Every structure is written in C-alpha cells, then in structure tokens.
Amino acid sequence: MAVAAAARAGFRRLFSVSAFAAPPPPAARPAAEPCNNLFVSGLNKRTTSNGLKEAFSKFGQVIEARVITDRISGYSRGFGFVKYATVQEAGEAIKGMDGKFLDGWVIFAEYAKQREATQPSQQGAPYEYSS
C-alpha cells in the first residue's frame, strides 16, 4: 500500500513539473498613432462592408468601410478597415465600438498601423549557389 502511494506521488510529480521553461510574456505592441483609419478585428464571417459601414456610421462620416474577404469563399477573413473624415470621429468610434457585438461576435476597434515598407523581392533563384 505504501509503495503504491509513493508510486502515485512520484507519478504525479513526474507530470506536474515541466522540463521546459515558461515562455516569456509577450512584448507589448506599440500603440498606433491616432489617425482617421481604424482596424477592426473579430468580425463574423458573414459581415459585409455595407454592414460594417452601417455599424460605424453612427459615430461620424464614414469615408470607406472594407471587410477583407477570402479569395475562394468570399467570406470575411475576420477583420476590416473603417476610414473616417476626421481623427476625432475615429476616436469616438473606438470608444463606442471596441468590445461591442456586431453580427453576434465581439469586435475590437483600434487605430490602424501604417504598413512598413517591404523590400522588393529579387527576381531569380531563391537560393544563392557558390561555385
């Protein structure tokens, strides 16, 4: 009986202690500068650009609302962009829509980050061969 209890304790210890170190906490992403373009995530697959524009139009003049869609299915990829006439309207929209429900899903709105310039890909072989 004592041997079984000791075996259970050792077995429990074997699985309760990880051999791997805990991953480091994620680095905080720098907040985007306030601008009139919003990034909206958490969208339902059935959300359309028109539906996104209607939902955000109560906070100001929406210049453009675009849901990014899958090329094959045509459904939303879960995120989109809303562009307002002014930065103040965009700020009000973030306050009003961040964490709210749209088409049954909780959405998140934040200022869109500017794209980083990408290096143009080199034409030719993807690998460099030495002779």
Where along the chain do its domains lie? 37-111
- The arrangement of secondary structure in 37-111, i.e. its CATH architecture, is 2-Layer Sandwich (3.30)
pLDDT confidence band for 61 (50 / 70 / 90): very high
At 68-116, the pLDDT tens digits run 999 998 889 999 999 999 999 999 999 999 999 999 999 999 999 987 7
Structure tokens at 11: 């077995």
Q: Which of 63, 72, 65, 35 is nearest to 50 (CA)?
A: 65
At 106-119, the pLDDT tens digits run 999 999 998 776 65
Q: How far apart are CA 116 and CA 128, in angstroms?
A: 26
